[in-house]
Structure 1
Amino acid sequence: MRTDHGLQVIRTALIGAGRIGTMHAGNVARRVAGAELAAVVDPVEEAAQRLAAKYGARATGDIDDVLKDPDIDAVLITSIAAVHSELIVQAAEAGKAVWCEKPASLTLEEMDRAIEATRQAGVPFQVGFNRRFAADFAAARKAVVDGEIGTPQLMRSLTRDPGWPAGLSNAANVKPWTIFRETLIHDFDMLLWLNPGAEPIEVYTKADALVAPEYKDGGLLDTAAVMITFDNGAIATAEANFSALYGYDVRGEVFGSKGMVTAGRHANSPMLHYGENGIRQHTLRSDEEMFVDAYTQELQDFAEAVRSKGVPPVTGEDARRALEVALAAMTSHEEGRPVKLGAAA
């Protein structure tokens, strides 16, 4: 057994060599103690080879190469969302611990199958809701749990992806429902996490293609606001847009009977530039800038769950709850009505 910083080394295989997979590969190889990037899998084998070569890992286009390898302890799934649930099942049946980018599945039926497969195999299963691992969001959650803001009454979570003056450059490639299942699902998870013990009972959506309206007939939605009512009385809003010209904007807020907590930031530095045109400040331009420490910590915690065979900090059941809200938001948009959840349905 090899060790690193006194920790058993967890040998991981990355499945999916795209943008987010490339980032996670670098974090595993360079920033996560007690973890090793052993292999990179991608159906485009050249992409796997390019990424693997950076970190001395082996590359393959065949997932069975790593699932049958007894020296691989865990897989990190960063492929396209449509195949996440099937990959989770395959990895679990091969006895590998599973970490998967969100959304772990696109339907509740697929999600339930993935959860059951990991349960039957007895392997850790963690989903990549990275905001839970950011210091400011974690501190906000602790304040809520400790009763410092009293009873939650109003909540807010938002995601505004960076945009460009020319508009949404990749609008034609944005799949229908992306804004709910792949963007706002982070906000749904955050609102659930920041209101512990409460359950969502109603979801109502307004959404449109306001950034690139010419793609609306193809299913594009680039702007959305979702109102969620909880059984403890809290009213929450989640909003998203794909074109924030000022940078990457992610924030959260819980207002309660004793006060308020907020999380999230715009600036990449406290430095303010005072000039003839007023005050200027440089802003964060990507998720990698804002959440580099959170992305690292979630994988560090996953590696520890694999070592200890414990329960990861974000479970398949957590992912299912967020997905249920996302699917209700989609139904609300389609049917133009509030959608009841849980016992209220």
Structure 2
Amino acid sequence: MTSTTSPATATDPPIGGAGPARIATIGAGRIGSNHTELLARHVPGAVVAAVADPVDGAAERLAAAVGAGFATTDIDEVLTSSDVDAVLITAPARSHAELVCRAAAAGKHVFCEKPMAVTVDEADRAIAAAADAGIVLQIGFNRRFAPGFAAARRAVDDGRVGTPQLLRSLTRDPGPWKADPARVPQWTIFLETLIHDFDTICFLNPGARPVSVHAFADALIRPDARDTGHLDTAVVTITFDNGAIATAEASFSALYGYDVRGEIFGSAGMATAGGGRTSDMTFYGADGIEIDTARRDTVLLHSAYVSELSAFVDAVRSGASAVVGGADARTALQIALAAIRSVETGTTITVDEVSR
């Protein structure tokens, strides 16, 4: 373990009083580093108490950058620390459910990046562990906190859209895509990319239950990797019990930048949200019309990341329920698993099938 000093962690009172929420990060990779720095610099009422990562040096570097109380390669050191009120789980996706259960057993509140789990059984265990422990469990579905998507949901809640009929959500990662397909876990496009779109569609169609899923996916960016099971492009159709029909699509390589959009069409109107622009400036020049686009999710969705972390901190400090919790993660996961089975079988899959 490498320790660093943090006056706030050393002197502030524990949660439940007027003091800040003392949060430890588990996983010091790209998104863990982003979230930790946002907590340290942009979220009032929070301090970074610790950073844990099994990779030598990773936790120490991030802890030093944000002035965390201590850094360690031992996750249990964080979970047993009396200086930690809550944890931010940003480790690899397939470890999320286990870490949620371990954190809950230790009495730590949890913010978990998506997906919360990769099987329904795992999701149920994580939800039950959080409920039994009485902790806050919030999932990192950031689009709910983006201003445009939140406004679209208000348009639904206010009745301006009317009865939902058609919905759409898309994620296109910035290109050119240069990753090694062999290092991308199988079904990543559904479990880690489109999982956001599945949640977005459910968010924009509140109260409705997904019924059936049909998915198409291929390796169009790296067709040479198709035989290994790699998938980098997908379209999913989802039907809901209120009659609405939704489509979700994803690509790993949009040459023009990071692109996230949502749409809900109803009997009384339509609301759209998102895009790839980093500002509303449009430049008109001799070479044509230009706009600035984002090349990272952490740039395009900066305010959403800050808002979701702020909501988590507020819930921890106040004892309120999470804005987006385990049940939401379970629903999005069911759609993802149905999409995977649809690709495997070439058929439409009911959500009840994957639940069983």
When the two structures are superposed, what TM-score results if normalisation uses the length of structure 2? 0.93
Corresponding residue to 2:102 among 71, 76, 90? 90
Corresponding residue to 1:111 among 123, 128, 135? 123
**Separation (CA, whole Å) in 1 of partners of 2:273 and 2:108:** 35
Greater shift after overlay, 294-303 or 238-247? 294-303
Q: Percent identity?
A: 57
Question: Is this contact kept in 1: 2:49–2:83, CA < 8 A?
Answer: no
Report the AA paired with residue 318 of structure 1. Answer: D
Question: Is this contact kept in 2: 1:168–1:211, CA < 8 A?
Answer: no
Q: In structure 2, what is the equivalent of residue 9 of structure 1?
A: 20
Q: In structure 1, what is the equivalent of residue 223 of structure 2?
A: 213
Aligned pair count reads: 342
Question: Is this contact kept in 1: 2:334–2:354, CA < 8 A?
Answer: no
Q: In structure 2, what is the equivalent of residue 312 of structure 1?
A: 322
Q: In structure 1, what is the equivalent of residue 181 of structure 2?
A: 171
Q: In structure 2, what is the equivalent of residue 60 of structure 1?
A: 72
Q: In structure 1, what is the equivalent of residue 87 of structure 2?
A: 75
Question: Is this contact kept in 2: 1:98–1:123, CA < 8 A?
Answer: yes
Q: In structure 1, what is the equivalent of residue 160 of structure 2?
A: 148
Report the AA paired with residue 292 of structure 1. Answer: H
Q: In structure 1, what is the equivalent of residue 5 of structure 2?
A: none
CA positional deviation for 1:270: 2.2
Corresponding residue to 1:36 among 47, 51, 54? 47
CA positional deviation for 1:269: 2.2
**Separation (CA, whole Å) in 2 of partners of 1:242 and 1:183:** 9
Question: Is this contact kept in 1: 2:40–2:47, CA < 8 A?
Answer: yes
Corresponding residue to 1:127 among 132, 135, 139? 139
CA positional deviation for 1:7: 5.1
**Separation (CA, whole Å) in 2 of partners of 1:314 and 1:157:** 18
Per-residue CA distance 1:147-173 (angstroms, 9 max, x = gap): 101111111000000011xx5433232
**Separation (CA, whole Å) in 2 of partners of 1:122 and 1:187:** 29
**Separation (CA, whole Å) in 2 of partners of 1:327 and 1:296:** 29
**Separation (CA, whole Å) in 2 of partners of 1:270 and 1:197:** 33
Distance 1:93 1:260, change over 3 A: same
**Separation (CA, whole Å) in 2 of partners of 1:290 and 1:309:** 30
Question: Is this contact kept in 2: 1:168–1:242, CA < 8 A?
Answer: no
Q: In structure 2, what is the equivalent of residue 244 of structure 1?
A: 254
Name the SS of the counterpart of 1:123 in structure 2: coil
Per-residue CA distance 1:256-285 (angstroms, 9 max, x = gap): 111100000222122222223211111111
Instruction: Give me the CA root mean square deviation.
Output: 1.7
Report the AA paired with residue 100 of structure 1. Answer: C
- Which runs of 5 or more residues in structure 2 are unaligned? 1-11
**Separation (CA, whole Å) in 2 of partners of 1:114 and 1:86:** 7
**Separation (CA, whole Å) in 1 of partners of 2:42 and 2:288:** 39
CA positional deviation for 1:344: 12
**Separation (CA, whole Å) in 2 of partners of 1:219 and 1:280:** 38
Corresponding residue to 2:56 among 45, 55, 58? 45
Q: In structure 2, what is the equivalent of residue 224 of structure 1?
A: 234
**Separation (CA, whole Å) in 1 of partners of 2:291 and 2:310:** 32
**Residue 23 in structure 1 maps to residue 38 in structure 2:** no
Question: Is this contact kept in 1: 2:186–2:230, CA < 8 A?
Answer: yes
Report the AA paired with residue 133 of structure 1. Answer: F
Corresponding residue to 1:298 among 304, 308, 324? 308
Question: Is this contact kept in 1: 2:14–2:83, CA < 8 A?
Answer: no
